[in-house]
Structure 1
Amino acid sequence: MTNNTAGVEFWLLGFHSLPGWQTLLFFVFLLIYILTITGNIVIISVVRLEPQLHSPMYTFLQNLSFLEICYTSTIMPKMLANLLVERKAISFAGCMAQVYCFVFLGATECFLLAVMAYDSYLAICYPLHYMVAMSDASCTRLAMVSWVTGIFTGLLPCFLISRLPFCGSNQIKHFFCDIPPLLKLSCSDISTTEVIIFILSLLVLVSCLLLTLVSYLFIILTILKIPSSSGKRKTFSTCGSHLAVVAIYYGTMISMYVRPTSSLPSELTPLLNPVIYSLRNKDFRDALKKVISRQCSLHRV
C-alpha cells in the first residue's frame, strides 16, 4: 500500500479467529442491533406521544436515543455484512467515515450527558427557578450546542488519521475502523497524532465528566438536606437512571479515548440505555403503559 489513498482498502479482521461461528454471531449481533434500534425508537415515540413527558429532561433523552440509533448504525450494518462474506473489506473513504461518525457521536453523547446532569441539578437544587432557567428555548439551544460541538470535535482526529501514510499491512484487527487499530497500521511517526488525539480526548471527556460530577455533588448535598427518608429516595430516583448511564458510558469510553492504543470498550451501551431508562424511571413506565393501552383501545375499535 502506498501513501496514495485512491483505491486503498482495509481488511476488517474482527472475529476472524472464530470462522465456524460467523453465522451464529451474525444472528446474535442482528438481534442486539434490532433491540437497540427498537428500544431507542420506543423511547422517542413514547416521549413524543405522551404529554406528561414533554419536559426538558425527556427532550434531552430523545436526543440521546436518536444519537444512539446513529451511533449503532455507524458500526453494526457493515459488521453484520462482513460476518456473511469472505471479503471483509472497507474502502479508505468508508473507513474515514466510520472514524468521523464514531468520534463525533461519542463526543456528542458526552456533551448531552453533561447537559442532562446540569438539567437535573437545576431541577433538584433550584426547583422554583427551574422553568425559567430551563425554558424550551434554553433546552433547544443546549441540545443544538451539544450536536454542533460534537460535529466539530470529530473533524480533527479524522483529518489527522487521513493524512497518515499507510504503506504496510492494511489488516485492521477489529470489526470496524477506529483510532487505535488505524494508528498501528501507519508506517510513519504517529507520536504527534497520538498526543493531539489524547489532548482532545482529555478535554472532551474530563470537562464533561467534571461538569457531571460537580452537578451530582450539589444534587447529593441538596438531597441530604431533605428531612424524610422517603423524600430522599424519591428525589434521587428522578436522576438515578441518568447516573447509571453516566457510570456505564464513562467506564467503557475513558480507556479508549484517553489512551488511544488501549483495548476497545464494549459496544453495548446503546442497547443498555433504553433498558435503564425504561425500567428505572417510573414516569416513563407509566407513560409507556398509557401509550400501549391507548393503542390497544384504538385497535379494538
Structure 2
Amino acid sequence: MESQKNVSEFILLGLSFQNIQLFCFVLFLNCYVALLLGNLLILISIRCSPIFYQPMNYFLSHLSFMDICFASCVTPKFIGDLLVKRKTISYSNCMSQVFAMHFIGMNEVLILTIMAFDCYVAICKPLHYMIIMNKTKCNFLILAAWAGGAAHSFPQFFIAILPPFCGPNEINHYFCDIFPLLKISLCTDTYITGVLVLANSGLVTLVTFMVLFVSYVIILFTLRSHSAEGRRKALSTCGSHITEIVVFFGPAIFSYLRPPTTFPEDKVFALFYTIIAPVFNPLIYTLRNTEMKSAMRKVWCQAS
C-alpha cells in the first residue's frame, strides 16, 4: 500500500456535468469575473469615500476582500479544470487549499457576526453607538476575526495532513475539503477525526448561525418602537445582511453539520458558498443600500 508520503497528487472528479462542460466553463467564468468586479467595486468605493469610517461599511470592505480571497482559493482552478479531462492537484496545493478555505471561510463567518453586532448596537443602543463601535474597537474586532480564522483552520489543516492516504487518490469533489479527504483515507479509522471536524466546523457554524438568528430576532423586536422611516432604513440594511447569512450559512451547515460522509449533493451546495454567495454580495449590499449607491456615484463619477 502507498503511504501518505508517497502521495504526490490527487485526482479531482469535479462536477457530474460531463455533457455541458463548455457551458459550465462560460457560466462560472462569467460568475468569477462578476465576483471580482463587483467586490472590487465595493472595496474601492468604500475605501475612497468618507463612508469608510462608518463601522458597517468598514466591515463590509473587509467582507468584500474576504469574498475575493475565498472564491480565488477554488474558482480559478475549478474553471480551468472544466476544460481538461484529467483534473489533478498536487498534495501540497491540496493541503494549502484546505487551510486557505477554512481560514478565510471562518474569517467571513466572524465578520458577518461582527456586522450583526454592529446592527444590534445601532438599533438597540443608538445613544451609545459611537462609544461602543469606535475605531479602536472596530480594528480589534477585525483582528479577532483573523485570529478566529487561524484558530479554526490550523486544526483542520492538521486533521487533513495526518491520516495516511493508502487507497485511491480520487477526490469526489471539485476542490480539496476535509470529508472527501477522509473518505480516501482507507487504512486508518477516521471516526474520531470526523467527530473533531464536526465539532470544529459543523457546531461552530451552527452556533454562529443561532447567535445571528437570535440577534436579528431581538433587532426586529426592537424596531417595533421605531418610526416608519427608521424601520424602513434599518430593515434595508438588516435585510441585506440576513440575505447574505441565509445564502452562506444554509449550504455550509448542510456540508459540515453531519457525520463524516459525502453525498453527491455536496458539490452543488458547495457552489453556493464558494461562488454564488460572493457573486451576489455586491448586489445584496448595493441595491438595498442608498448610502452605498451614493458613495459609488461620487467616487466613480469624479474618477471619470
Q: Normalization by structure 2: what TM-score?
A: 0.91
Say whether the 8 Å CA contact 1:5–1:92 is kept in structure 2: no
Q: Which AA in structure 2 matches 1:197?
A: V
Map 1:81-230 → 2, pairs under 5 A:
81-187=80-186, 188-226=188-226, 228-230=227-229
Counterpart amino acid of residue 297 in structure 2 = K
Supply the distance in 1 between the matched residues of 2:5 and 2:24 (Cα, whole angstroms).
32
* 1:32 matched residue in structure 2: 31
Provide the rounded CA distance (Å) in 2 between the counterparts of 1:14 and 1:51: 44
Give 2:79's aligned residue. 80
**Residue ranges of structure 1 left out of the alignment (5+ in a row):** 297-301
**SS of the residue 1:86 aligns to:** coil
Of stretches 58-67 and 266-275 in structure 1, the one that deviates more from structure 2 is: 266-275
Aligned AA for 1:218? I
Deviation at 1:54, TM superposition (A): 2.4
Mean CA deviation greater in 125-134 or 178-187: 178-187
Sequence identity of aligned pairs in percent?
Answer: 39
**2:206–2:257: 8 Å Cα contact kept in structure 1?**
no
Map of 1:257 onto structure 2: 256
In the TM superposition, structure 1's runs of 4+ consecutive aligned residues that sit over 4 Å from their partners are none
1:11 maps to which residue? 11
CA distance in 2, matches of 1:183, 1:222: 46
CA contact 1:12–1:172 (8 Å) conserved in 2: yes
Matched letter for residue 69 of structure 2:
C
Q: Output the CA distance in 1 between the equivalents of 2:160 and 2:41.
A: 37
**1:15–1:250 CA distance, 2 compared to 1 (3 A):** closer
CA change 1:87–1:202 in 2 (3 A) is closer
8 Å CA contact 2:203–2:257 kept in 1: the answer is no
Q: Deviations over 1:188-234 (max 9, x none)?
A: 211001100111124421332233223222211210112x4333222
> CA, structure 1 residues 176+57, in 2 after alignment: closer, same or farther (shift >3 Å)?
same
The separation in 1 between residues aligned to 2:67 and 2:177, in whole angstroms, is 17
Deviation per residue, 1:241-297 (Å, 9 max, x gap): 11111121111211112124254222311111111001111111111122222122x
Whether contact under 8 Å (1:110, 1:204) holds in the other structure is no
Q: Is the 8 A contact 2:12 2:174 kept in 1?
A: yes
Q: Report the Cα distance in structure 1 between the residues aligned to 2:72 and 2:289, rounded to whole angstroms.
A: 26
Contact 2:124 2:222 in 1 (8 A): yes
For residues 295 and 174 of structure 1, do their structure 2 counterparts lie closer, same or farther at Cα, with a shift above 3 Å needed?
same
Aligned equivalent of 2:289: 281
1:27, CA displacement in angstroms? 2.1
Question: How many residue pairs are counted as aligned between the two chains?
Answer: 294
Checking the alignment, whether the CA contact within 8 Å between 1:53 and 1:284 is kept in structure 2 is no
The worse-fitting range, judged by mean Cα deviation, of 207-216 and 136-145 is 207-216
Q: Partners in 2 of 1:6 and 1:61 — Cα distance?
A: 44
2:4 partner SS: coil
Residue segments in structure 2 that go unaligned for 5+ positions in a row: none
Matches of 2:17 and 2:248, distance apart in 1: 28
Matched residues in 2 for 1:231 and 1:59: separation?
22
Choose the corresponding residue for 1:290, options 282, 295, 298: 298
Q: CA deviation at 1:166?
A: 1.4
CA displacement 1:105-129 (0-9 Å, x = unmatched): 1111111111110011111111111
- What is the CA deviation profile of residues 70-92 of structure 1, one whole-angstrom value per residue up to 9, with x for unaligned ones? 10000012112222233311111
Higher mean Cα deviation, 84-93 or 187-196?
84-93
